[in-house]
Structure 1
């Protein structure tokens, strides 16, 4: 409650008689966390480990038409859960995704003649272009790579050539297929790891009753701190397995070859806790059970048939008519190099030749200093679906802060909840944040929704800094309420001078 018109942030501690008055004030709204229910099922019996041959050959091929259950309308509805507005762009990508599924259903030779519906997104920074493409790739469970057009140079110049885009896509496809096959084989992997750990703890000459007792303890996590001696590869795959980005596969392959050259890579015995041994053994068993040949075959097929390439900032390699022959003349050379990849060609990679005929290309750019018509005519023709994304308004910013399932305010609340702080915003505060974001974008550089991140971080920086001292482990959550006056007070100094805001917001 406010009295005498003064601004006050009420931080209400559940601990008796304790109050804390911060050096700043707030108020605002945070939608209550959504109650989610999840059904869990456990297998009655654990399957026995599969042999390497049977698992490698019996694993089902990846479902390249995973989006078959999603109609364009359903795709848009799923995108609406994470992205506000931009209905035209969502509709375009939903149609493109469904068209790929339809092509899989068409019989040859017509299927090979159907080309993907490549898309050109035109819109200002921070309006959702990249997020739409990223979410689309997740929905389709398809290989995805995002590149910036400015990173590439014309063939013959120092820099990356455009063929590396496809190599990166194939590397990402390999990682994706490996993870998918590992999930499908998880039951067999768990069973094999369980047997190895129990055998390492007890040895082989024990009664079945003893093994059963230890098996129950293992499944109940009662052996996590026991020390066990196991054989693991001296250079386990998990060291490089975390490099999900393009290049991780190439690095791992190089390390394996060096190890073989110098006679390394053999199994070695190590003593560690059961909890530490489990992930190492899981990786070792996965390498045995998942065939690298099957992974490579399915990865190339997934990249060729369902790969999605997102080329951001394509306008940066486009020169207006008056500047076409200036200092940036090589930009048209990059367009020429991109043209054969987008229209369909074969790219040589270390894993073999990869066709780009049926990959989906989504290009985006703001086109502030040039127009889409300034692109090479041939390249324009290979991006037939054009979508214009609109700049974000105050109402859009308010929706971004309240509608998505994992909006920024809920993320901040979740982070502070780990410290025992219950952060809430009033609706008036949320609207003030939205108004400020629109004002700063209009008066300084327009960075779209990214402006909300800088504003919210400025607002919560004090409570975030002081949170560990505000509560202790035995207290109930302390409530921090943020209102409109608190937003105004926190940001007024920054908005007095646009020059200062330019550097801070």
Structure 2
């Protein structure tokens, strides 16, 4: 975009006399400084260098137990960094050791993936295997995984570079405001510099923030956000982007602008975004995003057991478009292939794949043998015990007990949980998991909500009071559930 064409007009400012006095003393803004500021080449922002112990320590703040899974994930992340340090002749030979997490529902498999996405500053994508169908059937094919990962990488790369260039853009905005507000420069350089500094102080102190000015800014072009992005042919999208760039070139159609009358404080934010967009044009975001995906990308495939069939029903379910066919389509993706995306071709040879599944009705050996071989590291997660459930209620940074305390604190209510009550809640959750259905830590949400239902309802009328959750309250609120469990054994 051509920022030099931005037009700013001052409309009856309250400091008219000050502006008139400085108008001939402030030098003109040199637009060439934009290229000088953008010439600096910061280091690659997508660099991961966390030690395995640091990754495990961070996961321990949010996840209880499952030490084997945490260690496997931490080692896999560290190996990404180690590979980057290898000599050029050896680096292409080292491929990721993909991981398969096996464990019952609610034991922490998905939580490991969610926390990894928060602590890992490289492209990360979590998908469910059941959302994809075999190539040739209606639905999303597995190639869409890499396209979505590439979109994530583009957003991440742009975000990182935006933060790196923000200070440069702020300098540009300040100089542009000074230039456009004060007009041409004076021949007297000493008076010009003195007036320029004085006027800069006025801007920095906010004296001129309330002045309304009119600015012409480019209209946001939403034509590239075409509907149906999940299934749109990437070649069509790429051609659309190319046509837009050609049309907006120097000899093409002039970019549409919109005139806005805003205070200088708001104009500063608008111009900041314009300057950031101009500086980002000097960076090859697509190239860096593709490199980040190919070298540091991670894909977490959840519910992979749902696309497996047991040996007994193998033949009857082999025609399922969401079962064995998806497994076959995953083989080249995990082994290494090239996927065409709207941003360019992406190689998957060095992308780390982590799969997980409960495997209640099937076994890991029911997967295609080729897929088993591409997930060489298998980690079994243990089911949660009563003690684990108690620790989940108390140890994580954002545990359920603390969440309830903070929620009621917004109403001016002090909520206190006795330790014995917390242990009783863990015991009730463990009992329900054993007798009804084992859903792991998710059972704690059911127990907590049932206990807090009446307290939460009355909290708005209990400002200033202290409410205590003890064993008696837990047993009273859960009595109807436990009574049903006790009677169920007599039902034929």
Scaled by the length of structure 2, what TM-score is found? 0.78
Task: Look up the SS of the partner of 1:493 in the other structure.
Answer: helix
Change (3 A) 1:50 1:453: farther
Alignment partner of 1:459 is 2:451? yes
Aligned length: 437
How far the C-alpha of 1:142 sits from its partner, in A, is: 1.0
How far the C-alpha of 1:493 sits from its partner, in A, is: 2.7
Query: Contact (CA 8 Å) 1:426, 1:483: kept in 2 or not?
Result: yes
Q: Distance in 2 between matches of 1:247 and 1:235?
A: 24
Q: What CA deviation, in whole Å up to 9, does each residue of 1:169-190 have, x standing for no partner?
A: 0100000011111111222233
How far the C-alpha of 1:256 sits from its partner, in A, is: 11
Aligned counterpart in structure 2 of residue 214 of structure 1, from 181, 192, 202: 202
For residues 331-346 of structure 1, the aligned pairs below 5 Å read 331-346=323-338
Change (3 A) 1:462 1:49: farther
How far the C-alpha of 1:273 sits from its partner, in A, is: 5.4
Aligned to 2:361: 369
Aligned counterpart in structure 1 of residue 440 of structure 2, from 439, 448, 453: 448
Q: What CA deviation, in whole Å up to 9, does each residue of 1:366-405 have, x standing for no partner?
A: 1111110111111100100000011111111111121112
Aligned to 2:78: 98
Query: Contact (CA 8 Å) 2:140, 2:231: kept in 1 or not?
Result: no
Q: Distance in 1 between matches of 2:177 and 2:45?
A: 34
For residues 13-412 of structure 1, the aligned pairs below 5 Å read 51-67=33-49, 70-194=50-174, 204=183, 207-208=195-196, 211-218=199-206, 227-235=212-220, 266-272=256-262, 277=267, 279-291=269-281, 294-327=284-317, 329-330=319-320, 331-412=323-404
* Structure 1: runs of 5 or more not aligned: 1-47, 472-476
Query: Contact (CA 8 Å) 1:312, 1:364: kept in 2 or not?
Result: yes
Using CA pairs below 8 Å that are at least 6 residues apart, which structure has the higher relative contact order? 1
Q: CA RMSD in A?
A: 3.6
Higher alpha-carbon deviation: 303-312 or 285-294:
285-294
Q: What CA deviation, in whole Å up to 9, does each residue of 1:462-482 have, x standing for no partner?
A: 4444444444xxxxx653332
Aligned to 2:8: none
Task: Look up the SS of the partner of 1:73 in the other structure.
Answer: helix
How far the C-alpha of 1:443 sits from its partner, in A, is: 2.5
Q: Distance in 1 between matches of 2:237 and 2:472?
A: 55
Higher alpha-carbon deviation: 290-299 or 97-106:
290-299
Q: Distance in 2 between matches of 1:419 and 1:482?
A: 17
Q: Distance in 2 between matches of 1:171 and 1:270?
A: 32
Query: Contact (CA 8 Å) 1:171, 1:246: kept in 2 or not?
Result: no
* Structure 2: runs of 5 or more not aligned: 1-29, 185-191
Task: Look up the SS of the partner of 1:497 in the other structure.
Answer: helix
Aligned to 1:25: none
Scaled by the length of structure 1, what TM-score is found? 0.77
Aligned to 1:493: 480
Change (3 A) 1:422 1:97: same
